[in-house]
Amino acid sequence: MRPFKNILVGVDVSRGEHLVADRLSGHSERAWQTALRLAKLNSSRLTFLHVLQLSAETQHLIQRNTGLERTVLDLARERLNVLVDRATREGVVAQSKLIFGKCWVETVRQVYRDRHDLTVVGTRQFGTFKSLLLSTGAKLLRKCPCAVLITKPGSTTMFSSILTAHDFTGVGKDATKVALSISKQHDSELHILQPLENSRGNGESSAEPSWKADLTGRPDEELWLEEHIVRAGLSAQPLIHKAKSSSYCTEIIEYIERHKIGLVVLGVEACTGFTWMFRRNIAERLASGIPCSLLVVKPSEMMSSVSLQESTDYAQETRDQLGA
């Protein structure tokens, strides 16, 4: 799978009551630093996006007050330009965009507009699953059509140890290939967690969601993995682990703690129904509960409920407002 070439980075230049702060928050700082490192390794383009998520009343006030509009927008542009300049000095082609709207919605629209293949956002260290549901990161895990990398303030940009869960699905293979590529670039220790095999006739209900693979009639799966490991040309062989239970989250969290994992790479299928909700909730729970970064790979046919066509007039209006 080719490396990411067109990376969108969500950054927040606001802080507390300040629409534009002197410096980035910890989670935004980690997100852009991680994206910059990936861009340097892959010769990728970077787009720094800040969405001014304001009430309609505040937007109206800013637009009516010419002096205030100039101050707020100019300051925001200055903060974004600092990131662009720093990326340029590192040899990375970069640009910035400033938009009014709802953060996760405009991020998805920007992905469609410029065909980004990876979105990087930082999130705070949430203590509960409920609190994550309110975050931009959680919305992007569900709605963004491209891969999403969520970083934490305490996480590292150097992924010295990577874990991927290969569940023998199409997107699971894509996630494995991405993990192999990143492991090669970072010279990382790679751990590949394989699912608990499903034994027929064991009395278990197939209606219960669990992390199991029926390998019957699929003898080439192990050969596929071996072939791609050889192709990757890693400096050290990946460590392949067999799951001991059907609990997806529990297995992954245990390996994160045991092997000091810095990045988890997970594939999420573009399907509907209870199974899809179960898989999506796994990604969201991991994003909430793990201390390291999480990269969620999406299938090529992934579509979002957010429509770019519906946003065309809005996007033009926003560009007019910002003088773009």
Q: Where are the domains of the chain?
A: 6-146+304-322, 161-297
Which among 254, 248, 302 has a CA at the least distance from the CA of 119?
302
The pTM is what? 0.82
Helix (H, G, I), strand (E, B) or coil at 95: strand
Q: Are strands 94-100 and 45-52 parallel, antiparallel or unpaired?
A: parallel
Q: What pLDDT is recorded for position 92?
A: 97
Closest C-alpha to 165, from 182, 178, 155: 178
- Taking the alpha carbons of 37, 38, 43, 48 in that order, is the dihedral positive or negative? negative
pLDDT at 132: 44
C-alpha span between 303 and 316 (Å, rounded): 23
pLDDT at residue 243, as a whole number: 82
Residue 64's pLDDT is: 65
The per-residue pLDDT for range 194-216, each reduced to its tens digit, is: 876 653 333 333 333 445 555 54
Q: What is the mean pLDDT of residues 119-140?
A: 66
Tokens 């980004």 locate to 116
Q: Please identify which residue in the block is written with the tokens 């699905």.
A: 169
Task: Return d(Cα 173, Cα 164) in angstroms, integer.
Answer: 10
**Residue 138 pLDDT > 90:** no
Q: What local confidence, expressed as pLDDT, does residue 213 receive? A: 58
CA 263 to the chain's CA centroid: 11
pLDDT at residue 267 tops 60 = yes
> Do 166 and 300 touch, CB atoms closer than 8 A?
no
Compute the residue count for the chain: 324
Rounded Cα gap, residues 10 and 12, in angstroms: 7
Of the two residues 104 and 319, the one the predictor is more confident about is 104
Contacts of residue 160, defined as CB under 8 A and 6 or more positions apart, other chains included, come to 186, 188, 189, 260, 262
- Token representation of residue 249: 């989250």
Write out pLDDT tens, residues 157-194: 679 999 998 777 788 899 999 999 999 999 999 999 98
In this structure, CATH architecture of domain 6-146+304-322: 3-Layer(aba) Sandwich (3.40)
Q: Which CATH class is domain 161-297?
A: alpha beta
Q: Is residue 152 within 8 Å of 292, Cβ to Cβ?
A: yes
The helix-helix angle for 26-42 and 66-89 (nearest 10°) equals 40
* CA–CA separation, 149 and 49 (whole Å): 15
Task: Kindly tell me if the per-residue pLDDT of 102 is higher than 90.
Answer: no
